[in-house]
Amino acid sequence: MPQKIEKIVLSYSGGLDTSIILKWLQQTYQCEVVTFTADLGQSDELEQARQKAETLGVKDIRIVDVREEFVRDFVFPMFRANALYEGQYLLGSSIARPLIAKHLVGIAREVGADAIAHGATGKGNDQVRFELATNALDPSLRIIAPWREWSIQSRTELIEYARMHQIPVPKDKRGEAPFSIDANLLHTSTEGKVLENPAEIAPAYIYQRTVDPVDAPNEPEIVVVGFEKGDAISLNGEAMTPAALLTALNKLGGKHGIGRVDLVENRFVGIKSRGVYETPGGTILLAAHRGIESITLDRAAAHLKDEIMPRYAALIYNGFWYSPEREMLQALIDHSQTYVSGEVTVKLYKGSANVIARVSAHSLYSLDLVTFEEGSGTYDHHDAEGFIKLNGLRLKNWAARNGKSQSLLGSELMSTF
Ligand code: ARG
């Protein structure tokens, strides 16, 4: 018999897993379960989640539209860093977890619950993210992770349990058990089933919000993204709220087949997993943000950001959004964005989002300095001579010591490495 719990707040998507969890919690803990469903722009039928929770006997059903909060307070701060995990993953699921945890904790306090529960499995990153965030926000709250407690060991057994308890099992477009999908305003992630074999090519029907680049329009589309202090604020000159802007970029990106990534990633728990991500708007946003930074950030500032970026991305991936080290890095990143304002023109075409023009009132770009024509004389070509001489000094010294100065070409040089 588990420890006595008075009231639980469950992170409830309305999907198969969390519906079963809801039932299981009620039976196992014999206490009230309050459900929290975040409207993250996943475009699922949220009303369906309400109905399901009602059918399962929930009295206190919370469905909260957190789209603006999600983009403004989580996605945008992360994009200021150009965060990418392992060079490819835009962290669409990772960044939603701390926001969900924040609301679970808030509701738990409001209704006097002593525990929160989530539907993340015992093999994934999401359990870590939910729980570390909860630890940081309210150390006194208990956390129930049914996937680590119950005797159900697999998706097959889960579906069996659902059938036994009259919980409807959703089907995918082909009438089969669905993939493991996580969707929000930033991305759709698809895992499991045939994708578990990384040697198998992902079937075309798994993609949900992007067209195949091959089928994208044959005409490119040009868009202008406006930035202020590192955050996108307008699209084609029209001011927009963070969520509205990301929604608009998603539509454009989806239409042009932008932001599909098929990868194998290293989970925090030590497992490699294969996933397919669709991040249409985020992919455009990253390109545009790098575009505006390219003219507004000093070289050393930009390079420092790039050095800390993988570290920052790993913190978010591993569930340390609420941590002193993430806050410290965020302060550095936010400070760097003081002059990251202006407009970037991006060309969307068959799966690609390429920056083709950028402009800023705070630009550091100096035509006078860079021009192949005659400049005003600020840059003296002769300075470059001494600059190269001194930088080359130690290389000459090194080469002389190695005795290779006479044969700089070919295999002999290569063999010294
Ligand atoms: N592997 C991704 C991550 O750890 C996505 C996890 C959730 N996605 C899912 N299909 N269940 O961020």
Q: For position 33, what pLDDT does the model report?
A: 98
CATH number of residue 163's parent domain: 3.40.50.620
Domain identity same for 194 and 137 = no
Domain identity same for 351 and 379 = no
Which residue has its alpha carbon closest to ligand 1 atom 5? 93
List, for residues 30-53, the tens digit of each pLDDT value: 999 999 999 999 877 799 999 999
Domain identity same for 132 and 234 = no
State in Å: Cα 359 to ligand 1 middle: 36
Structural domains counted in the chain: 3
Mean pLDDT of the chain: 94
Query: Does ligand 1 have an atom closer than 6 angstroms to the CB of 275?
Result: yes
Domain identity same for 124 and 242 = no
Domain identity same for 229 and 347 = yes
Domain identity same for 115 and 62 = yes
Q: For position 123, what pLDDT does the model report?
A: 95
Catalytic residue annotation: 17, 97, 126, 180
Q: For position 378, what pLDDT does the model report?
A: 85
What average pLDDT score do residues 13-24 get? 92
What average pLDDT score do residues 274-280 get? 98
Q: Are 312 and 336 in contact (CB under 8 A)?
A: no
Query: Does ligand 1 have an atom closer than 6 angstroms to the CB of 181?
Result: yes
Classify residue 83: in a domain, yes or no. no
Domain identity same for 41 and 146 = yes
**In ligand 1, which atom is closest to the CA atom of 181?**
10
Which residue has its alpha carbon closest to ligand 1 atom 6? 93
Query: Does ligand 1 have an atom closer than 6 angstroms to the CB of 82?
Result: no
What average pLDDT score do residues 9-29 get? 94
- What domain range is 264 assigned to? 187-297+339-365
Q: For position 2, what pLDDT does the model report?
A: 64
CATH number of residue 229's parent domain: 3.90.1260.10
Best of 88, 180, 186, 191 for a ligand 1 pocket test (most atoms within 8 Å of beta carbon):
191
Q: For position 406, what pLDDT does the model report?
A: 56
**In ligand 1, which atom is closest to the CA atom of 265?**
1
Query: Does ligand 1 have an atom closer than 6 angstroms to the CB of 180?
Result: yes
Classify residue 333: in a domain, yes or no. no
Q: Is pLDDT of 405 > 60?
A: no
CB-based contacts of 205, cutoff 8 Å, min separation 6: 173, 174
Domain identity same for 240 and 172 = no
List, for residues 112-151, the tens digit of each pLDDT value: 999 999 999 999 999 999 999 999 999 999 999 999 999 9
What average pLDDT score do residues 245-266 get? 98
Cα distance between residue 278 and residue 208, in whole Å: 8
Domain identity same for 256 and 115 = no
Cα distance between residue 238 and residue 254, in whole Å: 20
Q: For position 373, what pLDDT does the model report?
A: 86
Distances (CA, A) of 62 to 8, 181, 316, 328, 350: 13, 22, 26, 33, 40
Domain identity same for 381 and 352 = no
pLDDT band at 155 (very low <50, low <70, confident <90, very high): confident
Classify residue 74: in a domain, yes or no. no
Cα distance between residue 250 and residue 252, in whole Å: 5
Least confidently predicted of 222-226, 356-360, 408-412 = 408-412
Classify residue 237: in a domain, yes or no. yes
State in Å: Cα 336 to ligand 1 middle: 30
Q: For position 317, what pLDDT does the model report?
A: 98
Domain identity same for 142 and 207 = no
Q: Is pLDDT of 412 > 60?
A: no
3-state secondary structure the chain: CCCCCCEEEEECCCCHHHHHHHHHHHHHHCCEEEEEEEECCCCCCHHHHHHHHHHCCCCCEEEEECHHHHHHHHHHHHHHCCCCECCCECCCCCCHHHHHHHHHHHHHHHHCCCEEECCCCCCCCHHHHHHHHHHHHCCCCEEECHHHHCCCCCHHHHHHHHHHCCCCCCCCCCCCCCCEEEECCCCEEEECHHHHCCCCCCCHHHCCCCCCHHHCCCCCEEEEEEEECCEEEEECCEECCHHHHHHHHHHHHHHCCCCEEEEEEECCCCCEEEEEEECHHHHHHHHHHHHHHHHHCCHHHHHHHHHHHHHHHHHHHHCCCCCHHHHHHHHHHHHHCCCCCEEEEEEEECCEEEEEEEECCCCCCCHHHHCCCCCCCCCCHHHHHHHHHHHHHHHHHHHHHHCCCCCCCCHHHHCCC
Q: Is pLDDT of 416 > 70?
A: no
State in Å: Cα 275 to ligand 1 middle: 8
Query: Does ligand 1 have an atom closer than 6 angstroms to the CB of 191?
Result: yes
List, for residues 216-240, the tens digit of each pLDDT value: 999 999 999 999 999 999 999 999 9
Q: Is pLDDT of 413 > 60?
A: no
List, for residues 305-344, the tens digit of each pLDDT value: 999 999 999 999 999 999 999 999 999 999 999 999 999 9
What average pLDDT score do residues 99-112 get? 98
Domain identity same for 166 and 43 = yes
State in Å: Cα 225 to ligand 1 middle: 29
Cα distance between residue 158 and residue 151, in whole Å: 10
Q: For position 177, what pLDDT does the model report?
A: 75
List 143's β-bridge partners, or say none: 116
Cα distance between residue 282 and residue 279, in whole Å: 5
Q: Which of 117, 277, 253, 258 is nearest to 181 (CA)?
A: 277
State in Å: Cα 93 to ligand 1 middle: 6
Q: For position 246, what pLDDT does the model report?
A: 98
